[in-house]
């Protein structure tokens, strides 16, 4: 193919055709790594979806594409009186929603104090919150168990084997990294906005509720989403504090389907896990526009 040029101008040199080996060294290997990473990440999800629609699947014989799709596993979830999946579902969503809501409020209140006020012990308090996160919550499981048993003797609604008590335990870890993350976002909001509002007669509470929280909606959405997902997935504390079948959460209840060595019901288990993921996916899709901004802006300044 010839190149038409104006008289007196040098011809444009033709670019040599890039070989496949050169393309693979420069760019192709990145596509290969991405494809392998996607396969590694998506295969377990696809296996769960396939097993949920397969009758009597095993841990080794599950198929991504079931030969004869069936809804028997979903029917079993809601017809077995000994394993009230519907009740577990309601319990979990209720506990997760309440925990996420109050986690955001508690962490936002602490972050506002650490970000906007200067008081004695401020730096020590921030470091203490960070150090506490080094120790998993289940390390204090014995102490939590004894406390909840004793609280139940005084005030049964938030004692042992109650959803109120379980929610209260989850809220014990509401601060920590959540407060750090929200504080980092609050620090990016100019303090001049607070001062301007105070000149107009606004109180600290009005500044917090009317100005700071609306501006910090992205990071609040991130903290709420992470708390919601973490509460749904939590098993160790819930299995220790909840014993009655009617008050179990999804993680504790579904474990019963695969707990017995010779009667592992992977079909209902995968079907229940699939249904449990639906609210998380919906919430994630609803809040996705806040997630990137909340994570990046909150980590820039702290």
Region 75-297: CATH code: 1.10.3720.10
Instruction: Name the burial class of residue 77, with classes exposed (0-12), middle (13-18) and buried (19+) by CB atoms within 10 angstroms of its CB.
Output: buried
Tokens of 255: 């474990």
Strand runs labelled E in the chain: none
Is the pLDDT score of 2 beyond 60? no
In this prediction, residue 167 carries a pLDDT of: 94
Structure confidence by residue, pLDDT tens digits, 8-43: 566 666 666 767 777 777 888 888 899 999 989 888
- Mean of the pLDDT values across residues 241-260? 88
In this prediction, residue 96 carries a pLDDT of: 95
Residue 134: C-alpha distances to residues 131, 139, 176, 177 (Å): 5, 11, 10, 10
The pLDDT mean for the chain works out to 83
- Domain ranges for the chain, please list them: 20-70, 75-297
For the chain, what percent of residues have pLDDT higher than 70? Answer: 86
C-alpha span between 138 and 8 (Å, rounded)? 80
Helices in 139-265 by DSSP H: which ranges?
Answer: 141-154, 163-171, 177-187, 191-199, 204-207, 213-215, 217-233, 236-241, 250-255
Tokens of 72: 């028997």
Contact 246, 54 (CB under 8 A): no
In this prediction, residue 112 carries a pLDDT of: 92
For the chain, what percent of residues have pLDDT higher than 90? Answer: 26
C-alpha span between 177 and 167 (Å, rounded)? 19
SS3 content of the chain, % helix, strand, coil (to 5): 70, 0, 30
Structure confidence by residue, pLDDT tens digits, 213-244: 988 888 898 899 989 999 999 999 999 999 88
- Contact partners, residue 234, CB within 8 Å, separation at least 6: 170, 249, 251
C-alpha span between 270 and 71 (Å, rounded)? 12
Model confidence band, residue 172 (pLDDT cutoffs 50, 70, 90)? confident
- Mean of the pLDDT values across residues 93-119? 92
In this prediction, residue 60 carries a pLDDT of: 64
C-alpha span between 268 and 70 (Å, rounded)? 12
In this prediction, residue 97 carries a pLDDT of: 95
Q: What angle do CA 131, 134, 135 make, to 5 degrees?
A: 115
Is the pLDDT score of 67 beyond 70? yes
In this prediction, residue 262 carries a pLDDT of: 56
């Amino acid at each position: 193919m010839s190149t038409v040029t104006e008289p007196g101008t040098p011809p444009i040199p033709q670019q040599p055709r890039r070989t496949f080996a050169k393309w693979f060294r420069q760019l192709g290997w990145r596509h290969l790594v991405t494809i392998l990473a996607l396969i590694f990440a998506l295969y377990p999800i696809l296996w769960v979806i396939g097993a949920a629609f397969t009758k009597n699947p095993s841990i080794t014989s599950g198929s991504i594409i079931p030969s004869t799709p069936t809804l028997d596993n979903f029917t079993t979830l809601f017809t077995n009186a000994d394993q009230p999946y519907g009740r577990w579902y309601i319990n979990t969503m209720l506990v997760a929603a309440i925990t996420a809501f109050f986690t955001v409020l508690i962490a936002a209140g602490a972050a506002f104090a650490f970000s906007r006020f200067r008081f004695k012990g401020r730096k020590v308090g921030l470091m203490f919150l960070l150090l506490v996160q080094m120790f998993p919550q289940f390390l204090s499981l014995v102490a939590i168990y004894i406390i909840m048993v004793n609280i139940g003797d005084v005030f049964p609604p938030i004692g042992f084997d109650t959803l109120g008590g379980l929610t209260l335990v989850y809220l014990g870890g509401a601060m920590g990294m959540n407060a750090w993350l929200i504080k980092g976002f609050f620090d990016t909001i100019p303090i001049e906005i607070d001062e301007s509002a105070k000149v107009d007669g606004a109180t600290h509470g009005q500044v917090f509720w009317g100005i700071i929280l609306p501006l910090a909606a992205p990071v609040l959405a991130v903290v709420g989403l992470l708390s919601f997902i973490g509460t749904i997935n939590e098993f160790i504390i819930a299995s220790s504090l909840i014993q009655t079948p009617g008050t179990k959460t999804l993680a504790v209840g579904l474990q019963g389907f695969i707990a017995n060595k010779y009667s592992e019901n992977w079909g209902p288990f995968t079907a229940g896990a699939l249904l449990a993921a639906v609210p998380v996916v919906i919430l994630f899709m609803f809040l996705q526009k806040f997630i990137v901004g909340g994570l990046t802006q909150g980590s820039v300044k702290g």
